[in-house]
Structure 1
Amino acid sequence: MEITSLQNPRVKQWAQLLEKKHRDKQRKYIIEGIHLVQEALISNAPMECIVYSIEQGMPADIEKLSATHLDVEWIGVTDAIIAKCSSTETPQPIFAVVEKHDANRVDEVLSQPNALVIVVDGVQDPGNLGTIIRSADAVLADAVILGRGTVDLYNPKTIRSTMGSLFHLAIMEAELQELLPLAKQKGARIVSTSLQAQENCYTYDFRPATWLLVGNEGNGVSEAAEAFVDDRIIIPMPGKAESLNVAMATSVLLYEALRQRKYT
Structure 2
Amino acid sequence: MKIIISPQNTYIKYLVQLKDKSRERKKSGLFLIEGHREISLAIKGGYKIKTILFFPDLFSIDQLNDLTSQPIDLIEISKEVYQKLAYRDTTEGILALAHTKSNHLIDLKLANKNPLILVAEAPEKPGNIGALLRTADAANLDAVIIANPKTDLYNPNIVRSSVGCLFTNEIATGTTIEIIEFLKANHINIYCAALRASVNYLTQDFNKPTAIVVGTEATGLSNEWLENSTQNIIIPMQGEIDSMNVSVAAGVLIFEAKRQRDFK
User: Secondary structure of 2:119's partner?
Assistant: strand
Q: Give the structure-1-normalised TM-score.
A: 0.89
User: Are positions 1:72 and 2:72 aligned together?
Assistant: yes
1:165 match: 165
Displacement after TM superposition at 1:143 (Å): 0.8
Shift of 1:176: 2.2
Q: Is the 8 A contact 1:191 1:229 kept in 2?
A: yes
User: In 2, are the aligned partners of 1:214 and 1:221 still within 8 Å (CA)?
Assistant: yes
One-letter identity of the residue aligned with 1:259: R
Contact 1:34 1:62 in 2 (8 A): no
Percent sequence identity is 31
The aligned counterpart of 2:40 is: 38
Question: Cα gap change, 1:26/1:187 in structure 2, threshold over 3 Å: closer, same or farther?
Answer: same
> Which segment drifts farther, 170-179 or 14-23?
170-179
Residues 130 and 162 in structure 1, CA contact (< 8 A), matched pair in contact too: yes
Equivalent residue, structure 1, for 2:24: 22
- AA aligned to 1:14 is L
Alpha carbons of structure 1 residues 111 and 178: separation in structure 2 relative to 1, 3 Å? farther
User: Alpha-carbon deviation of 1:119?
Assistant: 1.3
Equivalent pairs counted in the alignment come to: 262
Distance in 2, matches of 1:252 and 1:61, equals 39
For residues 57 and 194 of structure 1, do their structure 2 counterparts lie closer, same or farther at Cα, with a shift above 3 Å needed? Answer: closer
Stretch deviating more after TM superposition (25-34 or 190-199)? 190-199
Task: Output aligned runs, 1:167-246, within 5 Å.
Answer: 167-246=167-246
Residue equivalent to 1:154: 154
State the one-letter code of the partner of 1:17.
L
Q: Is the alpha carbon distance of 1:227 and 1:65 closer, same or farther for their aligned partners in structure 2, counting shifts above 3 Å? A: same
AA of the residue aligned to 1:182:
F
Q: Is the 8 A contact 2:45 2:167 kept in 1?
A: yes
- The correspondence of residues 121-136 of structure 1 with structure 2, limited to 5 A, is 121-136=121-136
Q: 1:54 to 1:108 in 2, by over 3 A?
A: closer
**In 2 relative to 1, CA 125–229 (structure 1 residues): closer, same or farther, beyond 3 Å?**
same
The range that moved more, 144-153 or 133-142, is 144-153
Letter in 1 for 2:13: K
Verify: 1:5 aligned to 2:13, yes or no: no
**Distance of 1:155 and 1:104 partners within structure 2:** 17
Alpha-carbon RMSD across the aligned residues, in angstroms, is 2.3
Show the counterpart of 2:99. 99
Contact 1:123 1:129 in 2 (8 A): yes
- Following TM superposition, by how much is the alpha carbon of 1:237 offset from its aligned partner in structure 2, in angstroms? 2.5
The more displaced of 122-131 and 174-183 is 174-183
Query: Normalized against structure 2, the TM-score is what?
Result: 0.89
Q: 5+ unaligned residues in a row in structure 1: which ranges?
A: none
- In structure 2, the partner of 1:114 is 114
Q: Which amino acid aligns with 1:7?
A: Q
